[in-house]
Structure 1
Amino acid sequence: MRNRPVLPLLLLAFVLPLSAAEPAELAWPAITRDHKPWTRWWWLGNIGDAHSFTSEMEKYAAAGLGGLEITPIYGVRGAEDRFVPFLSDRWVGNLEHVLKEGRRLDLGIDLATGTGWPFGGPWIEGEDAAHYLAHRTFTVASGGTLGEPVQLVQKPLLRFAGRTRVPIADLREPVTANANLQELAIDQVRFPRPLPLVSLMAYPGAGADRAPLDLTSRVAADGRLDWTAPADRGTWTLYALFQGQHGKMVERAAPAAEGYALDHLSSRALARYLAEFDRALTGRATKGIRAWFNDSYEVDDGEGESDFTPRFFAEFTRLRGYDLRTQLPALFDPADSRVLADYRETVSDLLLEQFTVPWREWANRHGALIRNQAHNAPANILDLYAASDIPEQEGNGHLAMKMASSVAHVTGKPLASAETATWLNEHFLSTLAELKATVDGFLLAGINHNCYHGTPFSPPDEPWPGYHFYASVELSPVNPIWRDFAAVNAYVARAQSFLQSGQPDEDLLLYYNIHDRWAVRGTGEMPHFGHGRDPLGVDSLRETATRLVDTGVGFDYISDRQIQGLEYRGKLIESGRQGYHAVLVPPTKFMPLATLAHLVALAERGATILVEQALPTSAPGHSGRLQQKEFDQLLARLTARALPTGGITRLPVGKGEFIVGPDATQLLAIRPGIPRESLTDHGLEFVRRRTDHGFLYFIANRSDRPVNGWVPLQAHGQTAALFDPATGRLGRAAARLIPAQPSQVYLQLPPGESVIVTLENRELTGPAWAYWQDAGETQPLAGTWGVRFADGGPTLPPATTVPALKSWTDFGGDELKRFSGHAAYTLRFAKPAGPAPAWRLDLGRVAESARVSLNGREIATLWQTPYAVVIPAGFLAAENTLEISVANLAANRIADLDRRGVNWKKFYNANMPARFRENTGPDGLFSAAQWAPRPSGLLGPVTLTPLRRLDPR
């Protein structure tokens, strides 16, 4: 929420007529393809042709998807003759067709910069592949020589993604020379060979001059060292550094695209990698790719880590200001983490400078953006996201998801994306309600561009259930839930149409104190960020961020680099077009000198810097030791005028100040202008944005209690409106809008539902929002229901009638126990007695989604509890026909296939493992054979309740 300077507005009041702010008609924003959800489009084996691609794309567009991200992956057994080699002429021809059809259907197209993940392929060889640093130490007595060769033989390693196993001795070198790579599905391979020596440094054990000697050039090809240790210097310690090939292969690689993972720390390696795309696409009609995609940094999920590159020592000296080879004892000393912290920061810098930036520049030269999943990298991913056109998260809790959206806010990027709904439930058990709830979690974290995970392409002639990816929610046209998928997509599009408008409106910048994590040696391995068990990586940051979320204070993370771009103007700390009230520093020990200096400069101009517990004590790393004097002088300048009172210390600096206190809660209590959003006390969650005419909130009730009452909002406006993204309903809200006091808006939100609230500084015209309350007894709709099975399989059951509602699996017979598809329930009933302006039709329990029609008029599509809809009294006739068409899950039909041993799990590589261990079959793959029939259809009870309008005053 912003307290902007008022003088320009006062001047305008004398210039413009009072009628300038004319009333506006309530309306939803016009929906664009970026407002709609996108989906990852898996190309298994790159199987497909122009006709089948067109047929499927038309279904995707009709379902309300806005775009497709093409990711080629592993193939299908038995369909080898249909494989299309990646980047071949035929493959590029298919891409050209898809791009053409995308323009016709208004479907955007993104393309993975490779197949599977991470970047890599058969043209990655030698020094272009990912590397690691290995070391050995030797000791040589004063005046002696080394009695063994300076050598290190790489330990053999072979890891598979699939179920086929072969000894490493049976593999040919290079690994791409093996003919059956789809079958082998190798994740990582290291052959037992001597590693090349990259440096040998000798450190004396005594003497005033302890500078090391570089003996690298004294080592012969066979490892013999031609050197005699100088006398009178004690026992010498020799550190030998070797370059190993990490051996990581592209995971889930498409046919003809298997190979080693790229060295992400080398722009030269990246340039040679991207040249293969230039070779394949130059001169072809491939304009129209919106963005090139990177599916997260997953090089280090094998054994060891990719922490070296051939130019690492030179880059380290450039970035850190000293030669790493002169500090090797400290690098490997368990009691000293300063040099290790510099090493980790250098890896982070190289991932930014040598990979992310040049990849973006390459894409931009080709008229495209990059959509980058920076998480899981051993880097400050805020900086990697900042160098990306569309930062994308994958979902690892609210705090992690905010990393991508924070960067979009701080750097002014319009889209913050997410890979959405990865492995929601077990195969074929994910529901549309779960999908919607997952999307809500991303929206609340500031993500405004969701991309599902995903939709596998399946040829039209493939028997049911077609092709499927192993870690997916099966969002494909063969799944019964697809029928009502469009309703959920409409919900997402409406919500994102608002959340892509205006500007973010967070109050605080929360400093990402990553140097405190880099300084923790731990096992000595590189920490990875944005994913896993501890996505933030810093306990103090996580605790502070959690407290802010729970309190209802909006914030964005900010990195050291991004702090350098902050300016203080008009009582706000600004980054691009965004303004913040303060910077909050969580408990922090290490902070770069440049960061502290810029925060001081901001305070001098009037900014407020909030600091939990105590000021940082040192600059980070070994290089920070060289800056300690300047750092201490800056701290002394800050503390020279300290004003302690009641546990809070104010440190005036120029026109502003640092405020140091025990925790964020107390600091915010004494800093005016940052009121908390107390709607969180009602069990509600929110994200807020600022518009040209006021503010908007996306609010979700993810608690188990309904909300029916006045809800406080800190933003102000002249009028308030409500928009229901699930139904498209809108209206002027009941609101108490008193200047200088929190706004209050009346909300009726059952558990699981969400709403958009706008507060505008202008009059709004349009219908008033309809609030309802029960006006009488609930009346069951009883009678005989006709049930007609419309489509599905494995066979279509005959129509029937039932006197009472129950799962169709209990109607009788095995045919219905294995049926997955759609069934239409029909009931005739008389209009209930009594005057009521509207009635609530409640379907009770539904498994799993329902389309409701009354007297031939389509009323609603319902996919989550409560399965209820308000029906105006005018829709009811004396005699009525109610039709409820229900779609169940694919589970019962899948279970039937597995019980009968039908071979539908026929994919190479990761061939449908179970999401949960209890669903693993004897062959180690997912199996539903043991599942009991899942309830399906309309279970009820179906009721009508008279309603009257509620006037909340």
Structure 2
Amino acid sequence: MRRTAATRNISSTWLAATVAALAASGALASGGGAAGAAGAAAAYVPPAPVRSDRLADVAARLAVPPDDAKALVRWWWFGPNVVKTQLEREMQAMKQGGFGGFEIQPVYPMELDDPARGIRNVPYLSPEFLDAVSFVNVKAHEQKLRVDMTLASGWPYGGPNVPVTEAASRMRVAAVAIPAGAASYALPSVMSGESLVAAFVGEGSDKQYDATKLRLLDAKSSATGRAAVEPAAQARVAVHYIASRTGQQVKRAALGAEGFVLDHLSRTAIDHHLNTVAEPLLKAFGDKPPYAVFSDSLEVYGTDWTGDFLAEFQRRRGYDLKPHLPAVYSGQGPDAAAVRHDWALTQTELVNERYLTPVNDWATAHRTQFRSQTYGEPAVSMSSNRLVALPEGEGPQFRSFSFTRLATSACHLYNRPVVSAETWTWLNSPAFSATPLDMKVEADRMLLQGVNQFVGHGWPYTPPGAQEPGYSFYAAAVFNDHQPWWNVMPDVNAYLQRTSYLLRQGQPANEVAVLLPNDDVYAALTPGKVSLSAEMHKHVTPLLTEQILDAGHNLDYVDAESILALGVKHPVLVLPHVTRLAPEVLAKLQAYVRGGGKIIAVGGKPSLAPGYADAAHIGGQVAAASKALFASGAQVQVVADDAAVGAALKKALPGDLRLASGQSDVGFIRRKLADGDIYFIANTSNREVRTTATLRATRRSAAWWNPQDGKTTPASVKPGFALILAPYESRVLVLSDAAQATAPGAGSSVAAAGAGTASVLADLSRDWQLAFAGAQPQAIAELRSWTDTAATRYYSGEGVYTKDVTLATAPAANARVTLDFGPGTALESTPKVPAGMRAMLESPVREAAVVYINGARAGSVWKPPYQLDVTQWLKAGSNRIEVRVANLALNGLAGQERPDYRLLSARYGQRFVPQDTHLIEPKPSGMLGPVRLLSDQIK
């Protein structure tokens, strides 16, 4: 196609035009929503999280953090088959366990209707279902629990109200052989919901042809089903491009919610869904709208088209896509990558404008907020998160490319103070295997990426009278009160609440930005898999991420959209194998370097225009701007590969927190306040880390803030200060310009207090009394797993260990006495966990314990270090020690036959397959030892 002056520079200026339009509409304003939202509901101000820029304010709430920082759970309603008494009971349990609220997610039936047992599946959006939603909303407000609502059943959005004309769309390519001499050929069938977009003819067969040599053909449907064609001496092929539908059905749909996934590139489809599904849902909330409405990850598989795509492409890109369809859908020819860039980019713009923006506007108009997992397919970008009020991530991969970091980076850039993450999906499969330590291990990886709101995956509603341990979602752990270790859930949630609260304070302080090369990824995308997030790992590799983290830094992502709108605020910017970049973005980078910014380019310099229109001219501008940028001097470096990034980064900016050893095991994230710094530091490994640490900058005072109980102790951060972390231990270091009020001690870990200085006051590894529910206590000479005894092999519940210990004197004023349960056993490899993750450590207490000394609750034990300070509860003479140990619900489940879902699937179709049931077996349980009382001096 010949490109005229009218089309010149369209590929290079789309970003500037897009950002300017967004800025004019208010979408880039801090805390703002999508275009038009302010006008739709100007009076609505969403609830603000409790946060401060002053350390004294933060410290004042440390002991009792605000409720808005509590973790939420995804509440699965199976069927839906719910009764009000049980709904209320489960909400009360959530609150007692320390959860702050829930997200309602109606999903597939778990059982057939059974009137004798009160099992009755009601259709989604039926009066009975909406009445249950209304009831839950009222009761939740009474209990001060947050309520979120998924704007659909299952995912992605869709259902029975989606006609085939609004279903998720794709381009279907149909090649038809034309015999030599033929004057017509049979057209491919075009069914309901489909339309013929274009046809081409050329040499070859329906099995093999050169797409670059096809020419446009005027092929139209006819009553005979055949198309006329000029005869030719050789056999040829007619290639048809048919706008079709993916046929994808809503995943895990509730009864009555089955149907097509809707077309996320169609405003008509989105508006129809909002009118027919979202409106009835919100009416059920009356005058108390949900805190947020939710959309799960974009998993619209195979979509790459919509009905008016050609017209929208022409309007946005400035040229006709139709002649280039063979290049797009074959990948052949020198222009294929550039055209594919424009084709994929257009899809991002459409999903931004027709899905994210209107749903966010709708939410604002209905006095709620849109919480969205904005990644997947269609190809949303990192900056697409700017269009939603509450971005959400998923995935704990903090040392590689991460969907979670997409959300946290966008929140850091676009001033969204709260960023949530779906957490614990597939944790320690099969269901009921997950432990409190597993929860912490994954949660810490989320915190290190900047997450400060947990959405636990999840809480399965279980009807009254169901056999224990109750229902479970097919791909998730279980975090309700059917787990015996629920006894420590308040302590687990206290940790999650306090760390979430702390990581909302002040401002993000990551100092390295990594440019997501969206333009390069767009150009490499292929039909049927148009996803930036799925392919970005080829540029943002694990090695690249590791090099940055191991240099003593944390990082954010940026993209071309954010650079044009906001510039670059980080001291160092990394360009990972970037070849396509608009001249306008390079101009911003030149200004960034002039202002003192530093750039590390990996693998070479940008040299190509992003897209197709006027590519030669724009490519020349890119080359010239790139040459000028990389002639800026020492502030701009080019390194050969990812492995060289760490050394270049150390040269550009010394690490914020540097360790003499164990750097790859320890992660950190910093929040910067006006008068202080908050460092969350976590050992992500299953082995103790003993090292020395150096901070690049310090302040007047330092203290350890215990994220479990909020107690503070003094810290020394002189260069080369000692840092000792138990396996999977996390700590919070706070630097301040003022003196901090602290108590004597050395932080959260007893091991850190005086390594090797503790003496054994008493060995308690033998001769306990052990009682199980409904049974008399039995004397046990040695500590061993309950599974070693036939009577308790399949027992799930609590075992109560008691022992009397005589002390000659009470602990001295400067002494600390610790109840130590042993170090646990590190695993060399994860056993039998095919999906998700788990802690690579076997606990000496399986899986959690609550300790009572002389009748008083002394605390809980569920994570390393498996130690508890019991000083204040001990006295001279006889002391009664009681340890209430709880194991997994999995053990009881292992003693049962697996459910037979044959009839359920016959009635409703197979909507789920329970995860990894062949791995269900009893796990070691109880207090395994050794157990000791240790005494050391408080420094």
- From 594, 600, 611, give the equivalent of 1:621: 611
Deviation at 1:197, TM superposition (A): 1.7
SS in 1 for 2:222: coil
Deviation at 1:312, TM superposition (A): 1.1
Deviation at 1:23, TM superposition (A): 12
Deviation at 1:264, TM superposition (A): 1.0
Deviation at 1:713, TM superposition (A): 2.1
Looking at structure 2, the residues matched to 468 and 265 of structure 1 have their Cα atoms a distance apart, in angstroms, of 34
Residues 356-388 of structure 1: per-residue CA shift (max 9 Å, x gap) = 222111112111111111233241431332322
> Where does 1:76-91 land on structure 2 (aligned, <5 Å)?
76-79=110-113, 82-91=120-129
SS in 1 for 2:377: coil
Looking at structure 2, the residues matched to 141 and 469 of structure 1 have their Cα atoms a distance apart, in angstroms, of 55
> Any conservation in 2 of the 1:130–1:248 contact (CA below 8 Å)?
yes
> Where does 1:327-726 land on structure 2 (aligned, <5 Å)?
327-331=324-328, 332-335=330-333, 336-395=336-395, 397-398=397-398, 399-400=401-402, 401-425=404-428, 426-520=430-524, 525-530=528-533, 536-539=536-539, 542-567=542-567, 573=568, 579-604=569-594, 607-623=597-613, 626-639=614-627, 650-651=631-632, 658-662=636-640, 663-672=644-653, 677-678=658-659, 681-682=662-663, 683-708=665-690, 710-726=692-708
Looking at structure 1, the residues matched to 419 and 514 of structure 2 have their Cα atoms a distance apart, in angstroms, of 18
Call closer, same or farther: CA 1:31–1:679 in 2, change over 3 Å: farther
Residues 798-851 of structure 1: per-residue CA shift (max 9 Å, x gap) = 4322222222334x5x43222211121110111167967112211232111100
Looking at structure 2, the residues matched to 637 and 246 of structure 1 have their Cα atoms a distance apart, in angstroms, of 42
Looking at structure 2, the residues matched to 364 and 435 of structure 1 have their Cα atoms a distance apart, in angstroms, of 33
Looking at structure 1, the residues matched to 383 and 58 of structure 2 have their Cα atoms a distance apart, in angstroms, of 40
Call closer, same or farther: CA 1:789–1:75 in 2, change over 3 Å: same
Deviation at 1:452, TM superposition (A): 0.8
> Any conservation in 2 of the 1:788–1:798 contact (CA below 8 Å)?
yes
SS in 2 for 1:474: coil
Deviation at 1:292, TM superposition (A): 1.2
> Where does 1:705-854 land on structure 2 (aligned, <5 Å)?
705-708=687-690, 710-736=692-718, 745-770=721-746, 771-773=753-755, 774-777=757-760, 779-781=762-764, 784-790=767-773, 796-810=774-788, 812=789, 814-831=790-807, 837-844=815-822, 845-854=844-853
Looking at structure 2, the residues matched to 551 and 538 of structure 1 have their Cα atoms a distance apart, in angstroms, of 21
Aligned position for 1:646: none
> Any conservation in 1 of the 2:660–2:691 contact (CA below 8 Å)?
no
Call closer, same or farther: CA 1:726–1:150 in 2, change over 3 Å: same
> Any conservation in 2 of the 1:603–1:609 contact (CA below 8 Å)?
yes
Looking at structure 1, the residues matched to 594 and 693 of structure 2 have their Cα atoms a distance apart, in angstroms, of 39
Deviation at 1:904, TM superposition (A): 13
SS in 2 for 1:359: helix
Aligned position for 1:307: 304
Deviation at 1:73, TM superposition (A): 0.3
Deviation at 1:101, TM superposition (A): 1.6
> Any conservation in 2 of the 1:502–1:689 contact (CA below 8 Å)?
yes
> Any conservation in 2 of the 1:23–1:765 contact (CA below 8 Å)?
no
> Any conservation in 1 of the 2:55–2:676 contact (CA below 8 Å)?
no
Give, as a single letter, the amino acid of the residue that structure 2 aligns with 1:734: S
TM superposition score normalised by structure 2: 0.82
SS in 2 for 1:562: helix
Does 2:930 align with 1:941? yes
Deviation at 1:691, TM superposition (A): 1.5
SS in 2 for 1:348: helix
Does 2:91 align with 1:57? yes
Residues 421-465 of structure 1: per-residue CA shift (max 9 Å, x gap) = 111122222111111111111111111111111001112333322
Looking at structure 1, the residues matched to 553 and 559 of structure 2 have their Cα atoms a distance apart, in angstroms, of 19
Looking at structure 1, the residues matched to 452 and 172 of structure 2 have their Cα atoms a distance apart, in angstroms, of 43
> Any conservation in 1 of the 2:396–2:446 contact (CA below 8 Å)?
no
Residues 706-740 of structure 1: per-residue CA shift (max 9 Å, x gap) = 3456422224211111112224332222332xxxx
SS in 2 for 1:752: coil
Call closer, same or farther: CA 1:236–1:941 in 2, change over 3 Å: closer
What do you get for the CA RMSD once the two structures are aligned?
A: 3.3
Call closer, same or farther: CA 1:135–1:710 in 2, change over 3 Å: closer
Give, as a single letter, the amino acid of the residue that structure 2 aligns with 1:31: P
Looking at structure 1, the residues matched to 199 and 135 of structure 2 have their Cα atoms a distance apart, in angstroms, of 55
> Where does 1:30-45 land on structure 2 (aligned, <5 Å)?
30-45=64-79
Deviation at 1:670, TM superposition (A): 4.0
For structure 1, the 5+ residue unaligned runs are 1-19, 155-192, 568-572, 574-578, 643-648, 737-742, 791-795, 921-926
Looking at structure 2, the residues matched to 320 and 29 of structure 1 have their Cα atoms a distance apart, in angstroms, of 56
For structure 2, the 5+ residue unaligned runs are 1-53, 205-212, 747-752, 823-843
Give, as a single letter, the amino acid of the residue that structure 1 aligns with 2:734: T
Percent of residue pairs bearing the same amino acid type: 29
Looking at structure 2, the residues matched to 611 and 709 of structure 1 have their Cα atoms a distance apart, in angstroms, of 32
Looking at structure 1, the residues matched to 57 and 155 of structure 2 have their Cα atoms a distance apart, in angstroms, of 52
SS in 2 for 1:136: strand
Does 2:222 align with 1:241? no
Give, as a single letter, the amino acid of the residue that structure 2 aligns with 1:314: A
> Any conservation in 2 of the 1:152–1:195 contact (CA below 8 Å)?
no
Give, as a single letter, the amino acid of the residue that structure 2 aligns with 1:473: A
> Where does 1:77-116 land on structure 2 (aligned, <5 Å)?
77-79=111-113, 82-116=120-154
Call closer, same or farther: CA 1:49–1:355 in 2, change over 3 Å: same
Deviation at 1:905, TM superposition (A): 11
Call closer, same or farther: CA 1:637–1:565 in 2, change over 3 Å: closer
SS in 1 for 2:617: helix
Q: How many residues align?
A: 831
> Any conservation in 1 of the 2:771–2:778 contact (CA below 8 Å)?
yes
Call closer, same or farther: CA 1:718–1:49 in 2, change over 3 Å: same
> Any conservation in 2 of the 1:852–1:861 contact (CA below 8 Å)?
yes
> Any conservation in 1 of the 2:657–2:694 contact (CA below 8 Å)?
no
TM superposition score normalised by structure 1: 0.81
Aligned position for 1:8: none
> Where does 1:231-270 land on structure 2 (aligned, <5 Å)?
238-270=238-270
Looking at structure 2, the residues matched to 237 and 42 of structure 1 have their Cα atoms a distance apart, in angstroms, of 52
> Any conservation in 1 of the 2:70–2:98 contact (CA below 8 Å)?
yes
Residues 747-794 of structure 1: per-residue CA shift (max 9 Å, x gap) = 44211111111111112123233434534346312663222224xxxx
Looking at structure 2, the residues matched to 397 and 909 of structure 1 have their Cα atoms a distance apart, in angstroms, of 34
> Where does 1:902-913 land on structure 2 (aligned, <5 Å)?
913=913
Looking at structure 2, the residues matched to 223 and 346 of structure 1 have their Cα atoms a distance apart, in angstroms, of 33
Call closer, same or farther: CA 1:439–1:140 in 2, change over 3 Å: same
Looking at structure 1, the residues matched to 58 and 260 of structure 2 have their Cα atoms a distance apart, in angstroms, of 58
SS in 1 for 2:258: coil
Call closer, same or farther: CA 1:596–1:936 in 2, change over 3 Å: same
> Any conservation in 2 of the 1:130–1:245 contact (CA below 8 Å)?
yes
Call closer, same or farther: CA 1:666–1:884 in 2, change over 3 Å: closer
Looking at structure 1, the residues matched to 583 and 887 of structure 2 have their Cα atoms a distance apart, in angstroms, of 60
Call closer, same or farther: CA 1:317–1:768 in 2, change over 3 Å: farther
